[in-house]
Structure 1
Amino acid sequence: MIYVFLANGFEETEAIAPIDLLRRAGKKVITVGVGDNIITGSHGIPVVTDTIAQEAPLTDELEMIVLPGGMPGTLNLEKSDYVQKAIDFCVSNNKYIGAICAAPSILGHKGLLNGKTAVCYEGFETQLTGADIGSGSVAEDGIFITARGAGVAVNFGLKLVEKVHSKEESLRQRNAILCD
């Protein structure tokens, strides 16, 4: 089971591309609304979530959480006690955390990227406290998978598929969607 947290002001492409690719790979992906079950993205697109944060249990079935970026979505995710609790749960239980665009800053503020390679949206590097800033569009270091922004949302989603399924499935998905 994978939770994708959505808060008002999230970047739509950074959420929908990974959701789609993970579901194509047969993973159970649950969209989790922070504050409500109708969340509006940063470009005015409303999304009805599968559940709300308070009703999303943190159990061993959870394989990964995904934090899309966008503004003010990232700020709204960061100030959610439940999102903070979910991050802590993943760290304590060695579960993957995917964060894209500005969202890696949430992990940086918590000191979780200290000594880890990570990437983020241009200009947020100073928010990745203690991180080694990578040069690629997607970075993986331990349980943390980070990505630069909307333009690499598909590659981010494919990396998430690789981590919770397999490299073969990620490649199969890449070929199926005709991604270079």
Structure 2
Amino acid sequence: MSKTLLLLANGFEAVEASVFTDVLGWNKWEGDGSTEVVTVGLHEELQCTWNFKVKPEKLLHEVTLEDFDALAIPGGFEEAGFYVDAFSEDFQAVVHHFDAQKKPIATICVASLILGHSGILKNKQAITYNHPTSKRLTQLASYDAVIMNERIVQTGHIVTSSNPGTAFDVAFRLLEILTTVTNTQKVKRLMGFQ
């Protein structure tokens, strides 16, 4: 059984987190049964971007990172305080741990900025929120990432994406990395994506 740490910053977008719990949850019950997700945060209660409140299953200090096989991180909004947790030393330590082990790291939208801030995207291809009115691409470039104008960019064990609309695709990409293409296609069909 592979275990994914779903790392939630205060101010995260609920839809970007839910795709990981749904896709990997569907796999647990209807696919090959090999995936489990644990929601983890720095606070006992987290407020999502649009005021929805969530209680993570575990606090970060309660988990052992070595117990996990993959890291998934949804994005969020600066206005909701997302970057306070996202750029914290605690979050950065998690990113460095998974990167050092070359374990899969899947991010959606601006969550790639967490990776950029940590330094692991230096000279690596990546993407973040890319709407023409946003300054997030400039921010990612300031971390010396190589900006790719694609919906999803996978560089080795790291997956980044360009907007919330990519969320399900990123979750399915993570499932494919953790299991197989055939199993992922089966889960997609069961969920009505094919």
Q: CA 1:74/1:101 → structure 2, altered by over 3 Å: closer, same or farther?
A: farther
Paired position in structure 2 for 1:78: 86
Task: Compute the displacement of 1:57 (Å).
Answer: 0.9
Alpha carbon RMSD of aligned pairs, Å? 1.6
Paired position in structure 2 for 1:16: 18
Task: Compute the displacement of 1:136 (Å).
Answer: 2.4
- Please list every run of 5 or more consecutive structure 2 residues that lacks an aligned counterpart in the other structure: 29-34
Q: TM-score normalised to the size of structure 1? A: 0.91
Paired position in structure 2 for 1:39: 46
Contact 2:92 2:118 (8 Å CA) reproduced? no
Q: Give me the identity figure in percent.
A: 27
Task: Compute the displacement of 1:135 (Å).
Answer: 2.8
Paired position in structure 2 for 1:53: 60
Contact 1:69 1:101 (8 Å CA) reproduced? yes
Paired position in structure 1 for 2:151: 137
- Please list every run of 5 or more consecutive structure 1 residues that lacks an aligned counterpart in the other structure: none
Paired position in structure 1 for 2:193: 179
Contact 1:40 1:47 (8 Å CA) reproduced? yes
Task: Compute the displacement of 1:130 (Å).
Answer: 2.2
2:178 corresponds to 1:164: yes
Higher helix share: 2
Task: Compute the displacement of 1:7 (Å).
Answer: 2.0
Residue 110 of structure 2: SS of its match in structure 1?
coil
Task: Compute the displacement of 1:80 (Å).
Answer: 2.8
Q: How many residues align?
A: 178
Q: TM-score normalised to the size of structure 2? A: 0.85
**Once the two structures are superposed, what CA deviation does each residue of 1:50-95 show, in whole Å capped at 9, x if it has no partner?**
1111111111x31111111011354033233222111111111111
Bigger Cα Rg:
2
